[in-house]
Amino acid sequence: MEPILEFIDVCFSYHSINGETPALSGISLSVLPGEFIAVVGPSGCGNPLV
């Protein structure tokens, strides 16, 4: 079965006046039809200003 979505070696950082906060580093995944995928982290991990 072919993936409908694929990420290969993805990195992402939040930028703020306090500097850079890495959120993802080297993430790779494939999503097949019918699958449900979630990327989660610790509480408050989406708001670098807190």
Torsional class of 19: left (φ above 0), alpha (ψ -120 to 50), beta (otherwise): left
Helix (H, G, I), strand (E, B) or coil at 27: strand
- How far apart (Å, rounded) are the C-alpha atoms in residues 44 and 41? 8
The residue ranking higher by pLDDT, 47 or 33, is 33
Flag whether pLDDT at 1 surpasses 80: yes
27-37 pLDDT, tens digit per residue, is: 999 999 999 98
CA distances from 24 to 1, 12, 33, 47 (A): 27, 5, 24, 14
